Amino acid sequence: MASEAVDDYLKAIFELAGDGSGRASTASLAKRLSVAPASVTGMLRKLSEDDPPSVVYEKHRGARLTTHGRSRALEVIRHHRLIELFLHDSLGYRWDEVHDEAEKLEHAISETLEDRIAERLGHPEVDPHGHPIPRKDGTIPKRSEQSLLKLAVGAEAVVSRVSDEDPAILRYLMELEIVPGARVQLMERGPFDGPLILKVEGKEDARALGPRVAAQIHIVAGGDSGPKAPTGS
């Protein structure tokens, strides 16, 4: 079985299950893919019965990827993130515009075009939002990241990646100049789920982020974020 819908399921399982190593529940997949839970159950059963199977499915326990399913998920994610970077760097798309376009194109490009894009971009390791681009051999660049919400007051960190799910949040963070590669210091944490007050290196004014927005940001505490993502403009 090979289709855009299958690719979407495998990619969603990979992302929801912690880089493909754990399980994704039926409910979380239904929410991510905007489909009914019964439809998710039906698809997972089909994927588990393929030859070779793409997932291991157990009722009430959700699904995990097989080696075959993980390989395909990584290929689709590689396509997606390379396309995002190509649209951003070569065609002038803003970082809040590239995700939806890449969703449409990730299934369609050939391996030859994938290789040409990677070569043109210099075999990059991160997309415009700082997410690691899986390598051709299926390995993924690793970083010791944590959520911005876990940063201690007074500590410094480098923004490593930002979720690309909400374009409005991306536009807001771009205005605040909180983008991958930016060094920040947590100055204050408001009580009772109050805002995080951040100082961005090189900027005079502090930035206030609510927990919902801060949860979309990952950091490397105190250190270097590794390969730099392009600016979000």
Evaluate whether 13 touches 33 at the Cβ level (below 8 Å).
no
Same fold, 4-65 and 146-221: no
Domain ranges within the chain, ordered by starting residue: 4-65, 146-221
Indicate the pLDDT class of residue 25, thresholds 50, 70 and 90.
very high
Indicate the pLDDT class of residue 1, thresholds 50, 70 and 90.
very low
Look-up of token digits 């997606």: 80
For 84-143, the pLDDT digits (tens) are 999 999 999 999 999 999 999 998 899 999 999 999 999 999 999 999 999 999 899 888
Quick one: which of 169, 212, 207, 216 has its CA closest to 188? 207
Between 226 and 167, the higher pLDDT residue? 167
Strands (E), 98-149: 146-147
What is the rounded CA–CA span in Å between residue 163 and residue 217? 7
* Cβ-based neighbour number of residue 170 at 10 Å: 24
Kindly report the backbone phi and psi dihedral angles of residue 155, in degrees, each rounded to the nearest multiple of 5, phi listed first: -80, 155
Single-letter code of the amino acid located at 119: E
SS (H, E, C) 112-173: HHHHHHHHHCCCCCECCCCCECCCCCCCCCCCCCEEHHHCCCCCEEEEEEECCCCHHHHHHH
- CATH number for the 146-221 domain, one of 3.40.50.2300, 3.30.930.10, 3.40.640.10, 2.30.30.90? 2.30.30.90
Look-up of token digits 């588990």: 48
Evaluate whether 180 touches 104 at the Cβ level (below 8 Å).
no
- Domain formed by 4-65, architecture: Orthogonal Bundle (1.10)
Contacts of 41 (CB under 8 A, 6+ apart): 26
pLDDT value of residue 3:
85
What is the rounded CA–CA span in Å between residue 46 and residue 5? 12
pLDDT value at 218 more than 80: yes
For 137-190, the pLDDT digits (tens) are 989 988 889 999 999 999 999 999 999 989 999 999 999 999 999 999 999 999
Tell me the whole-structure pTM to 2 decimals.
0.88
> Cα–Cα distances in Å, from 75 out to 127, 138, 159, 190?
15, 7, 26, 42
Evaluate whether 130 touches 225 at the Cβ level (below 8 Å).
yes
pLDDT value at 225 more than 60: no
What is the rounded CA–CA span in Å between residue 5 and residue 14? 14
Segment 34-60 shows an average pLDDT of 93
